[in-house]
Amino acid sequence: MRWLTNLATSSIGAKVLMALTGVVLVAFVVGHMIGNLQVFAGREVLNHYAELLQSNRGVLWAIRLFLLGSFATHVFMSSRLTLQNQAARPVPYVNQVPIKSTFTSRNMWVTGFVVLAFLTFHLLHFTVRVTHPEYQQLVEHVGPETRPDVYTMVVMGFREPVVAITYVVAMLLLGLHLSHAISSAFQTMGLNTSKYRPITEKVGPVTAVIVVIGNVTMPLAILAGKVPLPPGAF
């Protein structure tokens, strides 16, 4: 276990843990987006998918705990590194002209905080459903059975302009965070060599653009009335 303590307490170890947990979180974000895009395939398809995800409670909770652990480690390590960097230079440079740093790289802390705030709202909105308790009543009848009507919840959710625009802004900031984070992870893993750089320098921005486009399409299309509510939905 000593190696694990050493890994977690050294700054390179913290960076490696941030990169590894970041890979897990990016994989979740991409997978979640692909799943959610089924909203365009209609109510039956999205609700069936949501029902499938919820069907094995044991597996669902194992995945939730793994994601929560990855997220907590990622946030903890990034906070510790930021505080350590600040402590190493308590008095900032008088004339600091950033060299080779970008607006995004200097604001990772800000975009990361926005993602955390978005996620808190998102879970209260669509998972715990406390912001809109009426979502708890939404069910789809399938023969004699009923299942949660995730489709109607998402469509009703994004028909509220404030909610839709909040998601769009949060997704743009998530994109900025991902773009730099993925490039940074390659650097940490030693893959940013001249041989691999032509590929690695594109993976971050390309992934970010795909995630932003995929995720903003849903609130924008729904807000524009392009995704129908089922007849009788209130």
Which residues make up the interface to ligand HEM (CB under 6 A)?
29, 32, 36, 50, 54, 64, 115, 119, 122-123, 126-127, 150, 154, 167, 174, 215, 218-219
Which residue's CB is nearer to ligand HEM, number 86 or number 225? 225
Which residue has tokens 């597996």?
59
Which residue's CB is nearer to ligand HEM, number 14 or number 154? 154
- Region label for 143, one of left (φ > 0), alpha (ψ between -120 and 50) or beta (otherwise): left
User: Do residues 168 and 71 make contact, with C-beta atoms less than 8 angstroms apart?
Assistant: no
Q: How far is the CB of 200 from ligand HEM (least distance, A)?
A: 23
* Side chain identity, residue 166: T
Which residue's CB is nearer to ligand HEM, number 135 or number 186? 135
Count helices and strands in the chain by DSSP H and E runs: 9, 2
Which residue's CB is nearer to ligand HEM, number 17 or number 208? 208
Q: How far is the CB of 224 from ligand HEM (least distance, A)?
A: 14
* Number of C-beta neighbours around residue 159 at 10 A: 15
Q: How far is the CB of 35 from ligand HEM (least distance, A)?
A: 8
Query: What angle is formed at CA 168 by the lines to CA 163 and CA 169, rounded to 5 degrees?
Result: 100
Q: How far is the CB of 37 from ligand HEM (least distance, A)?
A: 9
Chain centroid to CA 173: 10
